A and B are shown apart, each in its own frame.
Chain A
Amino acid sequence: MNTQGEIILRAEALAKGFTIGTARVEVLCGADILVRAGKSVSIRGESGCGKTTLLNILSRMENPDSGLLQWQGREVAQIRPARLARERGRFMGMVFQSYYLVPELDVIGNVLLAAKVAGMKADKARARELLERVGLKERLFASPLTLSGGERQRVAVARALMNRPALMLADEPTGNLDEKSGAVVMDMLLAICAEQGASLVLVTHNRAFAARADESLVLHDGRLIPA
């Protein structure tokens, strides 16, 4: 385990359960994670074991039942609810399995939207540069609906990096892609995060992809254990 560098994300003893009808399901019970600046961590686990739930808690889109969560050393529970969304938008970028591009906006519009929504400067040059980096130089003004799955996910990666986030969360980013385009997206994701100095938490089913991270974890029985 690497012990160098600023701690970007720290979570300790996270617990989260859901009540469905009368049944109680404990999804997380005592999950710990530590992510340092510029490092990547991969998480594998069976379907339905709570990986998405964990990422939702790390991004504070969902509240844990108990446990500690810090973003760059700041206690997330201390952030005023009114400020939370904006803090999140500036601190982290997210990539989802199903891209979630806004179909009414063009490719560059989608990337710029991330900056505008988070109340940051809509830097066209940066958006262009990121899209060039993911190989979409020719498609800046295309509608997302005309792109392939792999291309859409590359737009989503560029969008997630637009605000120079310290942390990237990627939830099965290649889950909907075929092997070849999945590999392209994964290469780019890892490379760009490294270039931009963003830490990465990557949820994936693919062992090979998981092995490329600086640290590999498995979510099992509500805990994160080294692979």
Chain B
Amino acid sequence: MPWYLQLALRQLFPKGRRWPSFFFLLSVLGVSLGVMILVITQSVMGGFDKEHNAKMIMTSGHADVNAGGSVMHNSGALIAAISARPETLAAVPYAQGIVMLTHGNHPAFPFIRGLDLSQPRQVVPVGELLIAGDIADMDDDAVLLSSRLSQAIGAWVGSTVEVYTPLMIEKLKADEVMLPRRLRVCGIYETGWTPFDSNTMVCSLPLMQDLYELGDGIHGISILLRDERDESVWKYARSLGAELGRSQRVQTWMDMNRDFLWVLALEKNMMMFLMLFIILVASFAIAAAQLLTVLRKTREIGLLEAMGARPLHLGLLYCFQGFFIGLAGTLLGMAGAVLALHYRDPVIATLAAITQSQAALEQFYQFSHLPVYYDPADFILISIATLTISTLAGLIPAIRAAYMKPAEALRSE
């Protein structure tokens, strides 16, 4: 081993002492905190992404065939054709709209979707999402309410609710008698996805067709695929779109949620930008600690030069220390991040209890617990960035060491 590597290691781990040098510990701590924060934010952001995506897919399927809001009639053949494709896992026709819902004197204007519940494989797994009631009790005179909607109007399983459709209001204008449709609440569902949980309801497709007087018409077909990788979904949408008539179109879940995904991407980029400053702060910690070492060791550098050390090797002595600090900090920071994320629930619960913000957390972040997704690419990127920056941070003192005049170095106090 070249002398400068050997000496670098010895200076980090002095002989005969149980602990590495104080400066080493301090710099490693600085780097590991930076790495830890980076890994935590990236993994939590990634977790939110995954969770958001999963919820979007859960509530709308991977792809959707529709006529841009117009009613599609005689769609039996189309549904059969879609179902027959090998990539298709499920294809469920639906009709949707907005109704006025009342329970006692509590009104609400929820979004309602009628699903063909007779299909053996559903796209939206309503049965599994029920927190009360039983999907087996569903018929054409029953509805399922989202959890927040049921709270808002004070209805529960077994309650009877009244539904007014826009058509009924049209008839009212024509002085016809208007009788609301009385329906039984058969179940309450919760997805954990606030846009869906706050103000929606689900009924059978025949009931929806009846309410909106659609005959056999539907508004679209939700499709679930076997292979849910983004490329496969895009490919499926393209090939299906080529087969469809002019009036129909295929949208992927990414098309349908484009605005929301754009906001998420923006948020992640902003986070990255902010994180850059954390990397900078961490690298300052290394540079400062290294610079302190060089100042402390000025006379030692003079001595090494007096003994014949080449400036390049003196530079490497400190670059290597920077690299090693980066390495130790990266490993420690990543271990710390994984550990902190492993125990995130008790940590957040404690924080929320201290600040009494549990309710706000759930309301605004849509998830009751913090999702985490470890992306190997994040880890690789963070390691490379940290090692590069910490080695470069060692470069500043290294250059100082390399250019110091030995006589002046030895004279310095």
Contacts and interface: CB of A to CB of B under 8 A. Distances in A.
Question: Do these two chains interact?
Answer: yes
Interface of A: 52, 56, 59, 61-62, 82, 85-90, 94, 96, 100, 102-106, 109, 113-114, 116-119, 143
A138 to B, nearest CB: 16
Given A104-B10, A116-B6, A143-B16, 18 more contacts: A56-B407, A56-B410, A59-B306, A61-B306, A82-B310, A85-B308, A86-B308, A89-B309, A90-B308, A96-B303, A102-B300, A102-B303, A104-B21, A109-B10, A113-B307, A118-B307, A119-B308, A143-B15
B361 interface: no
A89 B300 contact: no
Nearest to A169: B306
A102 B310 CA distance: 17
B405 interface: yes
A100 B10 contact: no
Contacts of B7: 102, 104-105, 113
A68 B295 CA distance: 34
Contacts of B313: 117
Nearest to A119: B308
A44 to B, nearest CB: 20
B352 interface: no
Given A104-B11, A106-B15, A143-B15, A62 B306 contact: no
B14 interface: yes
A116 B303 CA distance: 13
A222 B300 CA distance: 29
B310 A85 contact: yes
Given A62-B405, A100-B299, A118 B11 contact: no
B15 A117 contact: no
B71 interface: no
B307 A114 contact: yes
A155 B61 CA distance: 78
A89 B307 contact: yes
Nearest to B10: A104
B16 A118 contact: no
A113 B3 CA distance: 7
A88 B306 contact: yes
B406 interface: yes
Nearest to B13: A104
B64 interface: no
A109 B300 CA distance: 15
A100 B300 contact: yes
Interface string B301-336: 011111111110100000000000000000000000
Contacts of A59: 306
Interface string B1-32: 01100110011001110000100000000000
A103 B14 CA distance: 8
A154 to B, nearest CB: 17
Nearest to A102: B300
Interface in B78-102: none
A116 B299 CA distance: 19
A104 B15 contact: yes
B353 to A, nearest CB: 47
20 contacts: A56-B407, A59-B306, A61-B305, A86-B310, A87-B308, A89-B309, A94-B307, A96-B303, A100-B303, A100-B410, A102-B7, A105-B10, A109-B10, A116-B2, A116-B6, A117-B3, A117-B304, A117-B309, A117-B313, A118-B307
Contacts of B310: 82, 85-86
Nearest to B6: A116
A82 B308 CA distance: 10
> Which residue, A82, A102, A106, has most C-beta atoms of chain B within 10 A?
A102
Contacts of A61: 302, 305-306, 405-407, 410
A118 B405 contact: no
A83 to B, nearest CB: 9
